[in-house]
Each structure stands twice: as structure tokens, then as C-alpha cells.
Structure 1
């Protein structure tokens, strides 16, 4: 082959490489701040606005209620640290799916994918939209609970709106997410700051004898944990983007030990704020806790609370739709579901069939269910697979001894967290 032919071949190879899709290799573009933002923004959604009443109804007193909220935060942190070891040991995207595949084989991983598509993800979407609907309806029905048919119809309309937005444009869906995330932080700051000011002014009556009359059973504690852990759900989302984190050996665990305790502090302070202005009986009778809080302390600007809570919940629902629909799309592409679910709109460049399928399943959950039953349903299914994943971590210590484990939560210390360079340099 002459020099001209060799030069032409090289040019052809460069042309082929330039035409390859950029998505074949994920870029490490997310730093520590981005990781913390993802954790905080994913966890804080509708849970803190609907779970306080459910946790209190099972604990019956202020003291045990606050302890449950703190314990759920600690448990979520420990779980996330286990996922940090898994994420740096098995550097594949997909959350629990590749971990279950490595630990047990294809059957548990396959069952997880179907449980996610038909139980966990749609029920989560339904819960968030129902809580959004309750907070929107509450100002129009002062002093009483909104009619169930109105709440469910509005929740179904919210699902339709979110599915339409995400089907039309990925960029439009991301814009909606950014706006509502800002609103989420605003309402958390309003509730926490207002509560701390009132507490500093001496409104501590509801914290006296915080453990009086407490009669806890194993069942009550379990249900309280179910509802508290629902509010913390999302602590594992960073594992879905491990490949895109800069220096994951440092940033993954550090984002976890900063982000989740930050959320835990917000949740505890928000509950303290609620108890500062409401007794346990008043909180349990409230149709929407944050709305009642706003009516008590922010009048005549109390309308701000339901408005921003609605923004927060609809933002969480939008983010859930954005990510979960991609899981359905991948399942269709891998042959685990109908092939049509892997189709992409040629004009909009969105996985419209997967989004529509996800919205239909979530709407079905809304029809017979209420928030508390759906939370218990979701939490049981989710933590069943979380538990299998934790057990898989132990199993792989014996069956996958050859895998490198840059992060070990049990032996992790400050030097590893602050280490800028991973134990082994990644090849460029």
C-alpha cells in the first residue's frame, strides 16, 4: 500500500471516529458540589410535607417522633455509604441492577427491573402527585379535608401535564426541574427560619414532657420507619451517575456524608418548626401540615406556603418522571419489556412511548390508593431490594474477593475522604 493509500485510510478512520456518537463514553463532568446538589435535590420532595403526620400517628409523642426522623437519616447515611463502596467497586450505571447481577446473577436483577417498572417507580410518582394535589386543594377547603375525587382528578391532571412536558422536550423538562428546585429550597428555608425564630421567642410548650404517654409496638415503629424512610428516599441516586463523577473515590462518599446529614438537619428542624406552632393533636388533624403552619404564623402571606409546597412536589414528580422513564426505555431496549417502549420520537428526540407508559401505570395507582397505603407499598418493595443489595455487598466479600474496593465504609476515615487522588490513577 502506497503512501497515498495509507494517508487515505487514516483519514477514513478519523472520519469514522468523528461520526461516532458522543454518548458511547460518559464524561466526568460532575464535581463535589454537583453531587451534593443531586442528593439534596432528589431527597427533598414531597416526603417532608406528608410524612410528619404519619410518623407522629405511629409514635404518638414529640420525642419518639424526632428520634425516628434522626434514626431514618442515620440509616439512610449508612445505606448510602454501603452504596459508595458498591459504586466504586462496580463502576457501572443502573443503580441496584448491576450490583444484584454481580452478587446473585440475572434472576434477582431481572426481578428488580420489573419491580421498579411496575411497583416502585409508578407508586412513587403517584404519591408525589397526590401530595401535590392535596396541598393545592387545601386552601380551597379551609377547615376540612378536600373531596377525594377532586384530589385524585387533580393528581391525574398533574401526571398528564408532567408526561406531556417531558414528551415534548428534554430541555423543557430540565427547565421545569431547575425552577421548581429553587422553589423547594425557598419553602424549606421559610419553614425552618420561622420555626427557629418562634422557638427563640419561647414557644416551647409542645416540647414539654415529650415522651409522656408513649406506648410503642414493633408494628408502630416499623410503620413510622416506613414513612420516615420514604421522605429520605433518593439517597442512592448518585450511584446512577458514578461514571460521570470527577474523582468518585473522593467525591462520592464526601457528597454522601455532607448531603444526607444536611437533609437530616433540615427535616428535624422542619419538624421542630411544626411542633413549635401545633400540638400533636392539631398536627394529626391537619389536612396539610405545612399549610396549617403557614396559616398560623405567616398570615396574611400564608398563601406562600401551599404555593411553594406545590412547586416542590411537582418538581419532585417531574424529576421522577425524567429519570424513571429512561429506566423503562432501557428495559425495552434490552428486551425486558415491549420493544415499542425503546422507541424515540424522531421530531422531539424524547422516549415518548416510555413516558406515556410510565404515566399510565402511575395513574392506575392513583385510582384505588391513598397516600399512606401507597407509601407503605412503595417502602416495602424498595427496602426489600435495598436489603438484598446490602446483603450482596457482604456476599461479594467472599465470592468476589478479586474486585478492588477503594472505599470501605467500615474502615473509611477522614484521610480517605479528603484524598484528592484515588488509590490508583485512572487511565486517561
Structure 2
């Protein structure tokens, strides 16, 4: 049985506490610039998705500027083609949706009159009481309508602001795609030469976390969008399946409350159409089940597993992020906690005697803490046969106890990353 190295354990605990304090301070300071940070992160996410295609063209000798322009042109052309292909159905469904709301608004007086008659005749409520209640309800409704009319210019400004933000995301993502490697090289060059392997290790882990998180969120969005469309078809709202599915796909980008927001449109449509009650109850039950499955099963497993977090840790990070910073906190909590876990895992491995070069060579998820010391009779720092084969390391070789030279570590790290970051 191994003895516990108390000084090393103390150092690990101190490092973990320091990392937690740093992240808490970062949350507190950066929380005042949420809008700018969200634009920056969205731009980086778009650039992260497009950069592999640009790098693919660059490998064939295309200039990076030309490759970026071609990829962006292809992406926007594809989006335009998809929008054009769906525009007819969307316009038809939006028109049907508008006509449904209009007909419902026209039938409100008759429905209200029948409801008043029901209260007077069956519930034996005096007419004066009903009139007084209606007047009390009318007053806040009129105030709400007046405020909406007064705030119409603000709504126009809000729409304009959203359009400007989308334009900023497109422009910033283009520059990140074009100069991302240069920015990365500049940041890496600042690091001390001795710390270069650790910097590259953390960069690789962060790339995995961000990429897998984006792919996980897109997977969830597709699942919720398809399920919403199928729910509409199943309950007789097939004419609105496309628009409801598209709205659900967009709402799912908001963690935790995505399916809840996605359910609003189908449920309102069901209430506005004829014979609403059986259909509406079925829809509510389906969306409640979808919300529970998405929040407690799919979300933690897909997104949490993608970034290397246990489902319980993913749920707790979402809850804490939402409590501290609302929707944006829930959106960013999972990747931030995953990145913090990468730092803790790297510190733990380093304290256990594994060098950054060995971690890079393992080609394993950095958040999986593996003991490199005396596993099944192997020497210090040795890997298992499976790990040695996956990382092209001879399991029988005994790594030196001495720390590898800085130059060798840097060269090994650069060689390991040359094919990934080019």
C-alpha cells in the first residue's frame, strides 16, 4: 500500500483552492461585461467550427485569406439555400399561425360572453360581481397594451441591436478564423520555455472541451427540435411542426430551460385551435417528459460526457451558474468547470510524477485522472499496455526519474502538436 505524501497532498489542495479563487474572481469581474463576453465567445465558437475547413484548404496550398473567404461564402450560401428551401413552408405555417391568432382574437367577445353567462346561470354568481371582476381585469390589460405601444421604439432598437450583434459575431469570427493561428502563436510565445509543454497540454485540453461542448449542444438542439416536430405531428399540429421544431432548436441553446421555452409555441397553438383540451394535456405531458429526460439524462450525459464531466458535476455546474449569472451563467458553466477540472487534473498528475510530455503522449482525455505510479507492478511513470499502444510508447521502456530537459520537452510538445495546430 502506497504511503500518502502529505506535503504533496497539501500542495495539491493549495493549488485547487487557488484555482477556485481565481475562477470565482474571474466570474465576479467578468460578470459586469456579460454582453461583450457572450459576443466574443460566440465568435470564437463559430470560428472554432469553421477553422477545420479552412485548414483543410490551406493544406492544399490555398492562401488562408482565400480559404476563409471561400468557406464563409460556402457556409452562408448553404444557409441561404436551406432558408430558401424552407421559406415556402415557413411562410405558409406562419400565415396559418397568424390567421389562427386573428380568428381567436375575433372570437374572444363571444367566448367571454358565454363564459359570463355560464357564471351567472350555473355558478350563481351575481352579474354585478362579474362586471366588477371584468373591470378589474381590463385595467391592467389596458395598461399593458399602453406600455407595449409606448415601448414600440425600444423594441425596434432591441431588434436593431440584435442584428448588430449578429453582424459583430460574423466579423469577429472571420478574423478569428483568419488570424487564429497567429493569435495562438503569440500567446504561446509569451509562456516561459520551461512551461511550454504544460501550456500546450492545457491548450489541447481546452480545444477538446470547447469543441466537444459545441458538438454536444448542437446534438441536444437537434434532438429537442426533432422531438418537438414529432410531438406536433402526433397531436394533430402537423401544419406547424416545422416552425415549432425550428424554434425549439434555437431555444435549446439555452441550457436547462430550452425544452420549457420550446413547449410554449405548440401549447399556445393547441389552446387556440378547436378541441384544445385533450390535445393540450397530451402536449403538456410530452414536453414535461422531454424536459425531465433532457435535463436529467440527455444533457448531463451528452454534454457532460463530451467535456469529461460526470453527469452530477454537469448538473451542479448548471445550477450554480444559473444561480450566479442567470441564463448566460448556465450557458457557460459547463465548459468553465470542465476547463477548471483540466487544470486540477494536470496539477494532480504533475504532483504524482508524470511530466507534461508523458501526458501529451498518452493521447487520453486530460480529465481522466490515472495513477502513473506502480500500476499492476509496472515502474514509476509507466503506462498500461493499452495506453502504451494507443500513445505509441513502448510499455517496457523505463522513463528516467530525472526531469527531461526543457529543450527536449519543448521540441516534443511542438512535434506532437505540429499536425494539429497547422
Indicate the TM-score class for this superposition, using the shorter chain for normalisation: under 0.3
Higher RCO (C-alpha 8 Å, min separation 6): 1
Q: Indicate the structure with greater helix content.
A: 2
Larger CA Rg, structure 1 vs 2: 2
TM-score of the aligned structures, taking structure 1 as reference length = 0.21
TM-score of the aligned structures, taking structure 2 as reference length = 0.21
